[in-house]
Structure 1
């Protein structure tokens, strides 16, 4: 099976969110099961010289963008056993950030059409399936059907579209149809690309792909409801027959407390005392009192409303009145950055706010904290709780999306469960569960069992890669 995996970012080259981790670790996992999977992303200016200088120039060609023909270079680099291709155009990709530009519609119109053109130059690699991810590649299935089916090389190609976060949809002016995509006005209808007064890239992916997946089973059900559906719930109910939920995983080689050189002391199920060395170091490094008997709660998160920070804001004084320490790492909305800075200054022995992001500090939080708080309003899959489980840092989560699928609430009687959870999006429900976790933490023997339950949780790509492989096979065989 030949798969072309299309993404707007991929670790370690460029990363703004969880999609980058998926675009690196899922193809790597699939490669092990004899799938010829290759990844293509834009060649951004921010990709470090360490990688850029090792890239091999493959080809250069023109890409139709409406009435224009724009230059595109194609570069190749083998990394972690996976073939990565990079589309090069300085006008579109030589920018400080990958997204958020006034001309994002043009950038990703070029990218979508460019991916289809690039297939002609991949040394005989004609994919059976193009696997598109999020709105940035949502137009590929549309353009494939509109402009490429006449070519024998493209006639049997099938498409999969994965929703990583439905909130981000890529909606642009109606003029984009002819001006940038080369499509006529017949595509501006409710059953095609029309979304209110604009054109929706994500709608293109949902309607024109052969199969649609999203990143957890719970989220696949949630997005068919108005609360989570971002005005697309009607459409998603209509394509229910081709919608699957497949849970994301993490790369066990990248995230392994037994061999992690980013933490102070490696540890595992039989050496959990070493986790306390990481805790003590973390407390000292961030200026908190070093005390192994005080539970430390960590948050590594984007500081935005989706992540449930309104709940934390609502009861932050109550949280800080408990015998705990709270560490928050992230950047985002000014309101939340200011909130955590303020309480960090007011309660310097209780709260440390690290406004910014540093992978080494983040990894030390995963290794050194006792608990990991993730009270998201919605969470398609989530990666934070997966890393926390791997590192024996007990998650406290809201039962939504992938959080619901990966964290099972601890049962005091049966001693089962790998974390703590609450159902309603309610600050006091969250506070109640935090108090329960802090109370159980006092019983060190019981707490150790919860930590071990967490570390035994299966959060790798092993099972999910099999599910993707089965879907690829099903699609290739025309079932």
Structure 2
């Protein structure tokens, strides 16, 4: 069986990773190849000029009223039995190699939607011209690849591929790539002016005058894959953000219909594990030195001293001077409401993050949060750090700091409001760090309360906040007063396995069959 995967990210290639989807595109093809499948992966060329590659052909792609020249390449010297393909065009690499772009208010996704629409047209053209081998299964990932399903279904030039088996993976239904049908340079009819299509299948349920790529792929694909079994159930219900529930985000009716037709499948993502246990000699002093080096690097990039970096450095000095043996709480991830909504909710006249720091102070512990994202959330976390001497917030991302936090933390905090699958909890568990999580999506499917970690739930924002604070307090008390039970949980977390080999088998039997 031959599978062609189409995606926006791929951590096999340098600087082509933003989120967890890049890990999936890196690891799942290898696992499929190990089971005997032939797998090709294609992403846009964001500026891979330094990589050794073979030119496969020149494509002439009709797009937005012009014929665009797109070059197809295969990357050399990449093993694991997977062909790594890229398509090159100035649109793809014009933003200094950035995978995604931020547009001005009022035109969300405009730049990226145009870029990925052209990329998808290039993929279809490569199939038509035989530059890409015709696959048995076309596996599309998130809204960035949805226009491939659209073109193969409705563009008469691709009639020969209209029955090609198509699988669509939803990594995060909150991001849908919505653009107008017409009246804008970044709109469906501007990209494909001669395309005849069924607007009822493509329009956004909330904005009928807009084209919704994610809804399009959900409706046109033969199978729709959600990246955990629990998330596959959650998206069948309407979101209720005022109550702290995030479900189908307007696409629940389409997914309900797909579930009735047995085309909606929940398969948990996997994680890579070392072939043998390494004896780590890493110490807190090593972590603190790495944090200091990373902070200095961030500070040096600015002509003025950023308050969050200054406060963080002062907190780091305080941590280095401490002699206590309290727990180290860690958190690594993007600062978005998906990840930290509960931390900045007001509960009993103060933010939840302040409640957690107070509970932690009773055990002489510290908390380190690594991540950046929404500027308002960054400011909230900076101000929380200023109020709490046991909180160190690192506004940015340092790969080595993140690795060290997984290795040295006593408890990993991941109170996501929704989590399609999650990889951070798997990485923490792999290192023997139990996780405290909100029991939603992939977190519910990977963490068993009081067995491999700790979890809380709630049917409203208030009860979720209360559940988080109580669970955090109970967890710290368990660690302090029941060391044998704590160590048992640590060992079970370390022993848990979510392998890509198992995922690949489920892909074959549930998605590709």
CA RMSD of aligned residues (A): 2.2
2:366 maps to which residue? 325
2:63 maps to which residue? 65
2:488 maps to which residue? 449
TM-superposed deviation, 1:65: 1.1
1: CA distance between counterparts of 2:43 and 2:290?
37
**Would you say the 8 A contact 1:397–1:420 is kept in 2?**
yes
Q: Which moved more, 1:277-286 or 1:361-370?
A: 277-286
Q: Which ranges in structure 1 are unaligned for 5 or more consecutive residues?
A: 260-265, 268-273, 411-416, 475-479
1: CA distance between counterparts of 2:406 and 2:341?
19
Matching of residue 41 in structure 1 with residue 82 in structure 2: no
TM-superposed deviation, 1:451: 0.9
1:468 maps to which residue? 507
Matching of residue 432 in structure 1 with residue 470 in structure 2: yes
Matching of residue 85 in structure 1 with residue 85 in structure 2: yes
1: CA distance between counterparts of 2:375 and 2:512?
46
1: CA distance between counterparts of 2:269 and 2:230?
12
2: CA distance between counterparts of 1:319 and 1:296?
13
Matching of residue 423 in structure 1 with residue 457 in structure 2: yes
Matching of residue 24 in structure 1 with residue 26 in structure 2: yes
Matching of residue 364 in structure 1 with residue 404 in structure 2: yes
- Please, what TM-score do these two structures have when normalized by structure 1? 0.87
TM-superposed deviation, 1:305: 0.8
User: Could you tell me which of 215, 220, 230 is aligned with 1:203?
Assistant: 215
1:238 maps to which residue? 257
1: CA distance between counterparts of 2:149 and 2:470?
47
1:251 maps to which residue? 272
* Secondary structure, counterpart of 1:84 in structure 2: strand
- Please, what TM-score do these two structures have when normalized by structure 2? 0.82
Q: How many residues align?
A: 445
**Would you say the 8 A contact 1:380–1:402 is kept in 2?**
yes
Question: Structure 2 vs 1, CA of residues 74 and 292 (structure 1 numbering), >3 Å: closer, same or farther?
Answer: farther
Equivalent residues in 2 for 1:21-420, closer than 5 Å: 21-45=23-47, 47=48, 52-78=50-76, 79-81=78-80, 82-96=82-96, 97-99=98-100, 100-101=102-103, 102-120=110-128, 125-147=133-155, 152=160, 154=161, 157-175=164-182, 176-182=187-193, 184=195, 186-189=197-200, 191-195=201-205, 196=207, 197-227=209-239, 228-240=247-259, 241-253=262-274, 258-259=277-278, 266-267=279-280, 277-279=282-284, 281-282=286-287, 286=291, 287=316, 288-289=319-320, 293-311=325-343, 314-321=351-358, 322=360, 323=363, 324-348=365-389, 350-410=390-450, 417-420=451-454
Question: Structure 2 vs 1, CA of residues 212 and 395 (structure 1 numbering), >3 Å: closer, same or farther?
Answer: same
Q: Which ranges in structure 2 are unaligned for 5 or more consecutive residues?
A: 104-109, 240-246, 292-315, 346-350
Q: Which moved more, 1:324-333 or 1:122-131?
A: 122-131
Question: Structure 2 vs 1, CA of residues 291 and 389 (structure 1 numbering), >3 Å: closer, same or farther?
Answer: farther
**Would you say the 8 A contact 2:371–2:394 is kept in 1?**
yes
**Would you say the 8 A contact 1:375–1:397 is kept in 2?**
yes
2: CA distance between counterparts of 1:340 and 1:352?
9
TM-superposed deviation, 1:452: 0.7
Q: Which moved more, 1:111-120 or 1:313-322?
A: 313-322
TM-superposed deviation, 1:225: 0.5
Question: Structure 2 vs 1, CA of residues 299 and 3 (structure 1 numbering), >3 Å: closer, same or farther?
Answer: same
